[in-house]
Amino acid sequence: MIKFLFIILIAGFLLQQILHMNNEKVERIEVKEFGLLDDGRTVKVYTLKNKLGSSIEILDLGGILKSINVADRNGKFSDIALGFNNPQQYLTDSPYMGALIGRYANRIAKGRFTLDGMEYSLAINNSENTLHGGITGFDKQIWKSSPSTVNNEAQLKLSLISQDGDEGYPGKVSAIVTYRFNDQNKLTITYLATTDKATVINLTNHAYFNLNGHTAGSILDHEVMINASHYTPVNSTLIPTGEIATVRGTPMDFQTSKPIGRDINIDDPQLNFGLGFDHNWVLNKSTEGIISLAATAYSPKSGKFINVYTDQPGIQFYTGNFLDGSIKGKDKTFYQHRDAFCLETQHFPDSPNQTNFPTTELRPGEQYKTTTIYEFGIKN
């Protein structure tokens, strides 16, 4: 009898633990149906939450960061990420808003590169160049998704297989991207990839931020610091010339935080090519490959800031120059010129054709692994 009671007690205890674990899951990460694509496929939306009341929505379509809800200095929450209410718009209207970008973030000149003596031709989708993985890049695929709660942090693991020849790239690539959101408002993104043939790879996230809220208009009052003494100047099609140039004495100098609007309208050939800032900065690193502070952005109006940390050698700072009021985003907002900025951690554009840039080659048996952290906070 005593033995029987003892077993019941233990069973009860175990059941409680299991229920508690499940509760924890419900609290930290939830899944819902976001909607249907025109071809009938369902898109799911995961909500990652933390104890501060912040929440981040991520789609299994493109691993897209659909919203980022964080408090301002008065405790008022608003969504600082641009995006759409309808999943199909992410395939047809979106300039990569919030999406995971692959296989190769940024541009490859004329969609061509040579690797181990073989010449490869990629899908061309940006004047004469390939941009952000081609016509149907990683941003337009539905990823396999697996939510969990690990050490009280919401975690979403997304995986994708890209077949040999996808958009012209060699090798069957297996990519795994994990988003983790903790109680310090840090969103950590870990990118892993392997291949069965020599290839090139460069993964990033293309979130569009507005620290006054995604409906708030211009970001020219935001103050940005980029921890870089050099950048990679571009030609008129935004392909790097190969030069690693100093930022000193140019509008590209963000070594000390300054308002985005301060120099953006200067008549400068680089700014004219990009219609504003749309360049890759060469991050200052004491040791290659360590995770360090890459950039900060702050809105004096809301008090919200973002700190970006990465182990990557570069960051693309893009000031929404191609937004023109023609796309209707969330909350019926027509996003206008410079209503958002992006800080895309990455290897340099066109690295496969630039011998003096850090390599983006990946070979069988090697693992591509990089980490970027977006930390959201408030300053007075």
Q: Which residues are catalytic?
A: 206, 344
CB of 56 to ligand GLA, least distance (A): 21
The residue among 6 and 322 lying less far from ligand GLA, judged by its C-beta, is 322
Within positions 326 to 345, which residues make up the interface with ligand GLA, using CB under 6 A?
Answer: 342
278 binds ligand GLA (CB under 6 A): yes
CB 309, CB 296: distance < 8 Å: no
d(CA 113, CA 13): 61
d(CA 65, CA 309): 18
Of the CA atoms within 13 Å of residue 285, those in its CB half-sphere come to 16
Within positions 282 to 301, which residues make up the interface with ligand GLA, using CB under 6 A?
Answer: none
d(CA 36, CA 31): 15
The residue among 174 and 353 lying less far from ligand GLA, judged by its C-beta, is 353
Tokens of 105: 């973030």
What single DSSP character describes residue 357? Answer: S
95 binds ligand GLA (CB under 6 A): yes
CB of 160 to ligand GLA, least distance (A): 20
270 binds ligand GLA (CB under 6 A): no
Element (H, E) at 160: strand 153-162
377 binds ligand GLA (CB under 6 A): no
What single DSSP character describes residue 86? Answer: S
Within positions 227 to 246, which residues make up the interface with ligand GLA, using CB under 6 A?
Answer: 238
Considering only 191, 298, 318, 341, the residue that binds ligand GLA (CB under 6 A) is: 318
Within positions 169 to 198, which residues make up the interface with ligand GLA, using CB under 6 A?
Answer: none
82 binds ligand GLA (CB under 6 A): no
d(CA 186, CA 191): 16
CB of 320 to ligand GLA, least distance (A): 8
- Candidates 3-11, 36-44, 134-142, 315-323; binding stretch for ligand GLA (CB under 6 A): 315-323
Of the CA atoms within 13 Å of residue 48, those in its CB half-sphere come to 30
d(CA 326, CA 324): 6
d(CA 376, CA 380): 14
Size of the residue set binding ligand GLA (CB under 6 A):
9
The residue among 177 and 340 lying less far from ligand GLA, judged by its C-beta, is 340
The residue among 309 and 318 lying less far from ligand GLA, judged by its C-beta, is 318
- Candidates 9-17, 112-120, 211-219, 316-324; binding stretch for ligand GLA (CB under 6 A): 316-324
The residue among 211 and 238 lying less far from ligand GLA, judged by its C-beta, is 238
Q: Which of 338, 363, 341 is nearest to 199 (CA)?
A: 363
Position of minimal CB gap to ligand GLA: 95
CB of 124 to ligand GLA, least distance (A): 14
CB of 158 to ligand GLA, least distance (A): 21
d(CA 192, CA 177): 6
Q: Percentages helix, strand, coil for the chain, rounded to the nearest 5?
A: 15, 40, 45
d(CA 210, CA 196): 40
Q: How far does Cα 214 stand from its chain's mean position?
A: 16
Considering only 46, 96, 104, 181, the residue that binds ligand GLA (CB under 6 A) is: 96
Binding positions for ligand GLA, rule: CB under 6 A: 95-96, 131, 238, 278, 316, 318, 322, 342
